[in-house]
Structure 1
């Protein structure tokens, strides 16, 4: 990788630059990059002008020149070649490579992500691990990035601009970065392999013309890890070596086990190779599935109970210390193969089973969605490997991983015959890891009961929102429940309770609503209830905009997309008897609302109205100044009024006309939907409809009270709520 060949690309029109991306000079005038950075995302047409800057900004002079698009892939793969207007003289040539085998390789690259931008775009040295087995059906390389930026507060992609970065392994160009993967918290990128496009006839002809030489792909395999000198071994390697001595120290054949393990992990190992115990420890420390894979060959040969117990203890201690994962290489591949088929046939089954069977475990984001994509399976499996299902087990035996409980539930849902292979897989993993048969049998019984019980569908989303007071920018803590009509609910847990921007909160709410909408069917309108403290009732949560859901549908606020109402459960803790009054008003209430449109209405007067002539009022509409509304709103909630409507933008009684289009005397049950439609129209026509309706809607018997929200990041390794 030559820093002098680094290229910054700006594409757009003659008057305005629209896209920024990265590239690499593969010949004196040829720039390799990703095709999408040269194209208008809306029209699909390529931009008319491209300006490039060649060279590393921190390594001497850079050259600025224009460039034109001269090649795109005939099958629309996301790759392109630019021809610079000027010839750039750089020493050396580019070597092309093709990673082979299954062992992870180190990679690096140079690009211009938005996260590194200050006054201008700064170069970022991308580096990490390329695990060939993580490549999905689309054939893209996975790049597990070591230094990774946080998600941006403004909603823009932190990796924006890194597309087009050339990826190098062993100083061979092996691919081009084309996108990031938000499911992994900005830690993972995806790259198009070089072998997918270098054999195109036109591409090869251009390389021969401008690079003046034949193009050859070199096969690249990962180098077998070897032990460092004793003084340089890190604590993980030292602990791994101690664990290995405890199960292999007296075995003469451990070298054969080491050779078998290395080959299984994707390395080329001759029969003459004689690894030492430190070499084996280095191999195990470098691969989280190495120790489980080694135990797969050891366990069948262990006949003594003491030896088998010692191996179980080693595996348990290694997982607890973060030295390995649960599954061996074969077990992981077999499970992913089985689950991919389920994702294809029943994409909602695995997320539904996870939410029900693992209610008190932190679930990764893909399991908190409606459908599970096969590309997310590896992340899901790896996450659940390290989580216990928290149930009791016989003394002296390992805890049952949450992954096995989930597999049992999915198998039970599939039925006896269709789930037989999953249950067989569970049996094999439990036997190897020392999980007690009684513990697995108990989970299997629970799974059968769960599959036989049809849970009522989710009816709405309940969101708990509170302001992050210590944050410099506007941000909120957010917790989400999926509620049912029978009062039960499921929490959508996440790895950390971090502060989020309004846009990020809105995206999470929209994702949760999709889960509920999928269960409700096409006729019912999804509803989200936002739980806030009384000092946050003024927040314009319905105006928070999650951004466009895809490239075709324009964006809109969440309050226009689905019914969103407020609730203030804090009032029930502060006012004795409020729940009783709340229930009575719903049972005896009148349809006609009490409209407060007189500035002379004070708190004492409103109290008398709500306790005499309007004692059964279900709905109150508040007009007037913000100061009057705030004080009367709290009184309404304290006296158990379940539905309160007001205009956040209103300054005085003269603004009351802004809510007339809501048909305030219309059917009460339809009010949330009328408010949603009004919000959508107001978003499209803000000058015509300046009102911004806020609606408290607290339906009796359907207000799950979430457990207290811990407003801090959990300690590393913590998974319980």
Structure 2
């Protein structure tokens, strides 16, 4: 990498700059960059004014010139070549490379990210690891960047401006940065491989014209690591060496296992490679999956129970300290391939299985959504590898990883050969890392019980709202549950709890309803949405919250128009003793005669007298009258166990009672929520001022808690999950 070839690119019109990016001078008049740096994102056409500054600000001799787009990739890859108006001659030439093997490679580059901008754009030395086995979207390389900027308060991307930077491995251009990735703590960049565009005939022809030589790709592989001097080794390396020494036994075993491991990692192993034990440890620390891969070959040769215990202990301590991954290279590749096919055929299965299998864990963000896209699968597997299922297990055995529990749930949910292949995979991994067979069998029992009872459809989607009083604007902390007909419920957990605006909460709720609609056994059941609020929240017009259009074809409409949406105030049960008992009694009475609260019950005292005497069995009250009385009357109804209360939020007096007649408030009770939904739709589509804004409280009672999972540690009895 030659810092004198660094290029800063600014594109736009004569009057205004619209885009900033990076580039690299590959010939005296050619700069390689990303195409989107040069294009208007609204029209797709290239900006008419492109200015380029070639050179590093600290080296001196920066050359400023104009440029024009000379070449873009015919298949739409995000790369381009600029032809400079002035020649910039830098000694030396550019070499091209292609990463090979499986081991991560060190990379570097130079760019101009927004995060390093002051009065002018500052150059940033990009550096980190390129993992050949990690594949981004569209076959892009994944770059794990060591120094990474924090998110900006203004919403702009801190990596903006890095696009177009050339990526170097061993002084060969191997890729061009084209995209940032906000996952993984904002530490990932995505780059277009050089091998994807250097083979284009147009690119080849231009380089022959301007450099007299075609772009030849050299294979770049990770070198075999050598052990550092003893004084420079870390404590982790010393611990691994101490653990491996009694397991390996004969000196020849060390060399054999090291050669096998290097071959698995995709490194080139010379015939005379004879590593020592410290060299083997250096090889183990060179790749996050190396220790797991080595343990696979070691476990196959171990016959002594003491060595087996030592290997299990080494793997457990390594994972507990955050060193290395759970899965070996082969295991990871096999699992991702199996789950990729399942995701394509059943995109909702993994999120559903994860919500049940890992009910008490904070799930990776992609599993908190309705569907799991195939592109997010590797991220999910990588994050789940670090999660344990249990902690207290017998000495010499390993905790059950959360990933294996989820795999068992997926295995019982899919049919045919895929199910047995997943279970076989899980058995092999469990045996390698020292999981007690009883522990794995209990997870399989839980999975079978889940499948046996998962046909119960979702009866209600419950949105629990809590006002965020610390927020400067109207925001709510939301919790969503799927309440099933058999009395169980599932909590849709989010990776982090952040308060939401009404619009964001509405979108979150709609996603939950879509999630419920995709549940097996749901068929044509339309979930009922219940919004849990406190006493102060009974006035909220949640039914009017608008999540926006679901797609470009279907127009937007409020929640209360899309779904049967009712309110519930469980908080009242804490203040009114016997309220739940009264609710059950009133429901059992069959609704008898609804109470229409008119002028004859215009105070809480009169209303209470009616509900305790002539309407003692009433399950429904229709509230009329002025707004300033409504709160007291409503709370009196709820405290006395009335499960269904209907009122018009727009009503100002008793004469407004006629507004509710269009939904037949005293008609059949079972159809009342649907009639309310239809009237809400009429109100949304109409501009009439006299239409009602119906609010409906519907208390269904408490659902039973879900059945506990079996989380019994071998030989230690049963513990609550």
Contact kept? 2:130, 2:143, Cα under 8 Å? yes
Give 1:49 shift: 3.9
* 1:204–1:564 CA distance, 2 compared to 1 (3 A): farther
Give 1:488 shift: 0.8
* 1:502–1:323 CA distance, 2 compared to 1 (3 A): farther
Distance 1:115 1:584 in 2: 64
Aligned 1:139-218 pairs, distance under 5 A: 139-148=139-148, 162-181=162-181, 184=184, 186-210=186-210, 214-218=214-218
Give 1:215 shift: 2.5
Distance 2:6 2:661 in 1: 62
The 3-state SS of whatever aligns with 2:330 is: helix
Alpha-carbon displacement from aligned partner over 1:187-235 (angstroms, at most 9, x marks no partner) = 4443321211122112233344455654332322223333344444444
Give 1:103 shift: 0.6
The equivalent of 2:276 in structure 1 is 276
Distance 2:530 2:118 in 1: 40
Say yes or no: does 1:673 pair with 2:677: yes
Contact kept? 1:662, 1:674, Cα under 8 Å? no
Distance 1:103 1:418 in 2: 29
Contact kept? 2:465, 2:533, Cα under 8 Å? yes
- Structure 1: runs of 5 or more not aligned: 708-719
The equivalent of 1:134 in structure 2 is 134
Distance 1:101 1:689 in 2: 70
* 1:62–1:528 CA distance, 2 compared to 1 (3 A): farther
Contact kept? 1:561, 1:676, Cα under 8 Å? no
Give 1:533 shift: 3.7
Residue range with higher mean Cα deviation, 392-401 or 257-266: 392-401
Distance 1:209 1:500 in 2: 57
Say yes or no: does 1:22 pair with 2:24: no
Aligned 1:644-683 pairs, distance under 5 A: 663=663, 665=665, 668-671=672-675, 673-674=677-678, 677=681, 681=685
TM-score for both structures, normalised by structure 2: 0.80
Give 1:472 shift: 7.0
Distance 2:176 2:397 in 1: 47
Distance 2:511 2:374 in 1: 18
The equivalent of 2:714 in structure 1 is none
The 3-state SS of whatever aligns with 1:269 is: coil
Distance 1:694 1:90 in 2: 75
The equivalent of 1:353 in structure 2 is 353
* 1:212–1:26 CA distance, 2 compared to 1 (3 A): farther
Say yes or no: does 1:220 pair with 2:224: no
Contact kept? 1:394, 1:439, Cα under 8 Å? no
Aligned 1:17-56 pairs, distance under 5 A: 20=19, 22-27=21-26, 30-36=30-36, 45-46=44-45, 49-52=48-51, 54=53
The 3-state SS of whatever aligns with 1:131 is: strand
Larger Rg: 2
The equivalent of 1:618 in structure 2 is 620
* 1:310–1:622 CA distance, 2 compared to 1 (3 A): farther
The equivalent of 1:397 in structure 2 is 397
Distance 1:544 1:689 in 2: 19
Aligned 1:227-376 pairs, distance under 5 A: 227-245=227-245, 247-248=247-248, 251-376=251-376
TM-score for both structures, normalised by structure 1: 0.80
Q: Say what the alpha-carbon RMSD is for the aligned residues.
A: 4.7
* 1:454–1:526 CA distance, 2 compared to 1 (3 A): closer
Give 1:342 shift: 2.3
Residue range with higher mean Cα deviation, 88-97 or 410-419: 88-97
Say yes or no: does 1:578 pair with 2:579: yes
Distance 1:65 1:591 in 2: 86
The equivalent of 1:413 in structure 2 is 413
Alpha-carbon displacement from aligned partner over 1:657-702 (angstroms, at most 9, x marks no partner) = 99879857485221563376468659xxxx9889996845444146
* 1:561–1:219 CA distance, 2 compared to 1 (3 A): farther
Residue range with higher mean Cα deviation, 221-230 or 549-558: 549-558
* 1:16–1:440 CA distance, 2 compared to 1 (3 A): same
Aligned 1:2-21 pairs, distance under 5 A: 2=3, 5-11=6-12, 20=19
Give 1:58 shift: 6.7
Contact kept? 1:647, 1:691, Cα under 8 Å? no
Alpha-carbon displacement from aligned partner over 1:84-136 (angstroms, at most 9, x marks no partner) = 56666667654432211111123344556666778887766544322111226
* 1:177–1:564 CA distance, 2 compared to 1 (3 A): farther
Distance 1:180 1:661 in 2: 57
The equivalent of 1:101 in structure 2 is 101
Distance 2:136 2:562 in 1: 33
* 1:377–1:53 CA distance, 2 compared to 1 (3 A): same
Give 1:168 shift: 3.2
* 1:524–1:121 CA distance, 2 compared to 1 (3 A): farther
The 3-state SS of whatever aligns with 2:383 is: helix
Distance 1:82 1:655 in 2: 75
Aligned 1:537-616 pairs, distance under 5 A: 565-584=566-585, 586=587, 588-589=590-591, 616=618
Distance 2:449 2:645 in 1: 43
Distance 1:688 1:83 in 2: 63
Contact kept? 2:4, 2:56, Cα under 8 Å? no
Distance 1:49 1:57 in 2: 25
Distance 1:692 1:223 in 2: 74
Give 1:607 shift: 5.2
Alpha-carbon displacement from aligned partner over 1:228-276 (angstroms, at most 9, x marks no partner) = 4444444433433333345347655213312321221122232323333
Residue range with higher mean Cα deviation, 90-99 or 112-121: 112-121
